[in-house]
Amino acid sequence: MTFAQILNAGIRDDQPSHLQKKIRIANSVALIVSFGVALPFIIVSLIHFPPVAILPSIGFFVCLGSIGANALGAPVTGRGIISLLPVTLTALFHVGLAAAGEPPIFGVYLIALSFSSVVFLVFDLREKTYLFSIAGIIALIFISFPYTQHWWEPVIDDTIIREGYVSIVAILTSLTFAFGSVLTLVTQNQLSEKKTAQLLAEANEINEKAKESEQELKESLKQLEEAQEEEKRRQWVAEGLAQTVSILRENDDLQSMSDRIISHIIRYINANQGGLFIVDEQGGNECLRLQACYAYGRKKFRKKTIAIGEGLLGQTYLEKEYNYLTDIPQDYVDITSGLGKATPRALLIIPLMINEEVEGVLELASLQELKPHEIEFVQTLGENIAATLRNGRISTETKMLLEESQQQTEEMRAQEEEMRQNMEELQATQEQSERLRAELEENENLLKEKLQELEDAQRETEEVRRVEKQRADEQIKSRNKMMEKAMQKFKEREQELMAQLEAAKE
């Protein structure tokens, strides 16, 4: 065990700092008493006062035992021993040396007096019960010095301690103890100062860390506040988008939807007026037509259409980028209220785009500047509104195409009915032609029979037969011509119907 470990015996980290300090002083005093006082007096006593040599021997071991008591976790007992036992043993040592009626031995008395200060070194006012109790006992011991000398009178010659070198040894021992005690206090103060400086350095370091932590905390709080503000802005945008989508879904009519959308946007971003323009055609050219407006005066919108490239709206359509102005052109727009007119501080023009195609333009004017997340919100709305406008336009075009298709279907059905009727007529004509052919063959057969029967009279009736045959040939030719004309008409009608079917398919 090292010297430092002996001095720090019994000191624990969970003890108060003042108790640690007192235990260290008690261990130092115990070493000083054992080796600086008790050990020299053991030697002197063995040489000159053998009967009382037991007392410094007991003091030597008991003082070291006080260090053991501290180490075993009994600091009150250890400090009590080192406070009370040296004075008590010194008093007993004085009883054994001084005869009854003689004055106290100065050297021994001085040692006892120096020992009496130990109690004030190892206890403080926080432990006043022990301090005052032990101090009272020590005072009684000093008071009883003249009255206890007859209790124990061994045969000892005290001349050497009263007048010889032992007296000097006793004085030097008391001075050594006093110097050792002072040195212990100085050392303890230095340790305390060192520890105080260390604690101060640690406190400064902790303070610096606390400042850094405070700065980090401020930054964290700032980041948290920014995150909360960002979250509020996201919630604000999400709620606005949800409300806008609801309006877009609930309104099938373009005019009603446009009126509600422009009104909702103006109120949601706390703007003052605005207009919704959609792409339209006028005279074969594209233009921007005012579809809905909110809180605009008549002077502003005497023109309901704006040509592509005309003014800020037309330029926004061409550039496909939003324009945000805080320096509003002179007489561009005025906001009118019951208190009069005012020029807006901010003007926002957003192209309503989807898939890089502009479906319209949204214009908003406000008496206060718009925040970035409000502009971003309106841009996002622009995409939704553009999608709705495109879907509405596509739906209208689809409806028109559907109506045209239905009309063409009705026409095709009528043409199919007419073709069916023509086919029936053609079939009837063919049937009639077949009947005529059958009749012609029957007539030819009859004629052949008549010719066979009238073969003998052929010559006589040749003229009549020629006439009849000529008439029959003419009738056949007439029927054939009628059939050819009917077939021709049927083929022409068939070609027309096929052409119409092909056109309808295209």
Kindly state the average pLDDT of the residues 73-98. 79
What is the model's pLDDT at position 340?
Answer: 45
Say yes or no to pLDDT of 298 above 60: no
287-301, 351-365, 423-437, 450-464: range with highest mean pLDDT: 351-365
Domain span at residue 30?
Answer: 3-209
What is the model's pLDDT at position 302?
Answer: 45
Quote the CA–CA distance of 95 and 8 in Å, as a whole number: 35
Q: Are residues 205 and 115 located together in one domain of the fold? A: yes
What is the model's pLDDT at position 337?
Answer: 46
Confidence of residue 21 (pLDDT cuts 50, 70, 90): confident
Kindly state the average pLDDT of the residues 183-212. 74
Quote the CA–CA distance of 120 and 313 in Å, as a whole number: 96
Q: Are residues 302 and 441 located together in one domain of the fold? A: no
Whether the CA torsion 302, 307, 311, 313 is positive or negative: it is positive
Quote the CA–CA distance of 335 and 255 in Å, as a whole number: 24
88-97, 320-329, 457-466: range with highest mean pLDDT: 320-329
Q: Are residues 366 and 415 located together in one domain of the fold? A: no
Quote the CA–CA distance of 315 and 318 in Å, as a whole number: 5
- DSSP string of 284-317? TEEEEEEEEEES--TTTTS-SEEETTSHHHHHHH
**Residues 130-139 pLDDT 10s:** 888 888 888 8
Tokens 């009590």 belong to which residue? 80
Strand extents, DSSP E, 53-203: none
Does residue 83 belong to any structural domain of this protein?
A: yes
Say yes or no to pLDDT of 76 above 70: yes
User: Could you tell me the two tokens for 488?
Assistant: 């021709």
Listed residues 176, 209, 242: the one ending a domain: 209
End-to-end alpha carbon distance in the chain: 111
Does residue 13 belong to any structural domain of this protein?
A: yes
Confidence of residue 146 (pLDDT cuts 50, 70, 90): low
Kindly state the average pLDDT of the residues 142-166. 61
Average pLDDT value for the chain: 77
Q: Are residues 158 and 268 located together in one domain of the fold? A: no
What is the model's pLDDT at position 147?
Answer: 65
Does residue 269 belong to any structural domain of this protein?
A: yes
Does residue 111 belong to any structural domain of this protein?
A: yes
Q: State how far the alpha carbon of 101 is from the alpha carbons of 32, 318, 488, in Å.
A: 33, 129, 178
Kindly state the average pLDDT of the residues 8-13. 82
Listed residues 355, 370, 385: the one ending a domain: 370
Q: Are residues 188 and 328 located together in one domain of the fold? A: no
Say yes or no to pLDDT of 94 above 70: no
Q: Are residues 28 and 117 located together in one domain of the fold? A: yes
CATH of the domain at 261: 3.30.450.40
What is the model's pLDDT at position 416?
Answer: 76
Q: Are residues 415 and 362 located together in one domain of the fold? A: no
Q: Are residues 80 and 193 located together in one domain of the fold? A: yes
What is the model's pLDDT at position 170?
Answer: 64
Quote the CA–CA distance of 353 and 379 in Å, as a whole number: 9
User: Could you tell me the two tokens for 147?
Assistant: 């009255």
Does residue 379 belong to any structural domain of this protein?
A: no
Least confident of 67-71, 176-180, 308-312, 357-361: 176-180
Share of the chain above pLDDT 90, in %: 0
Kindly state the average pLDDT of the residues 195-221. 79
Does residue 231 belong to any structural domain of this protein?
A: no
Position with higher pLDDT, 21 vs 94: 21
Does residue 422 belong to any structural domain of this protein?
A: yes
Q: Are residues 281 and 166 located together in one domain of the fold? A: no
Q: How many domains does the chain have?
A: 3
Quote the CA–CA distance of 326 and 348 in Å, as a whole number: 9
Using alpha carbons, select from 294, 227, 271, 290 the residue that is nearest to residue 378: 271
Q: Are residues 428 and 319 located together in one domain of the fold? A: no
Say yes or no to pLDDT of 332 above 70: no
Q: State how far the alpha carbon of 170 is from the alpha carbons of 63, 98, 161, 165, in Å.
A: 19, 15, 8, 9
Least confident of 17-21, 352-356, 450-454: 450-454
Listed residues 150, 177, 209: the one ending a domain: 209
Does residue 309 belong to any structural domain of this protein?
A: yes
**Residues 395-454 pLDDT 10s:** 777 777 777 777 877 877 777 777 778 777 777 777 777 787 787 777 777 777 776 776
Kindly state the average pLDDT of the residues 362-379. 85
Q: Are residues 154 and 105 located together in one domain of the fold? A: yes
Position with higher pLDDT, 269 vs 194: 269
Q: Are residues 295 and 436 located together in one domain of the fold? A: no
**Residues 114-124 pLDDT 10s:** 777 888 888 88
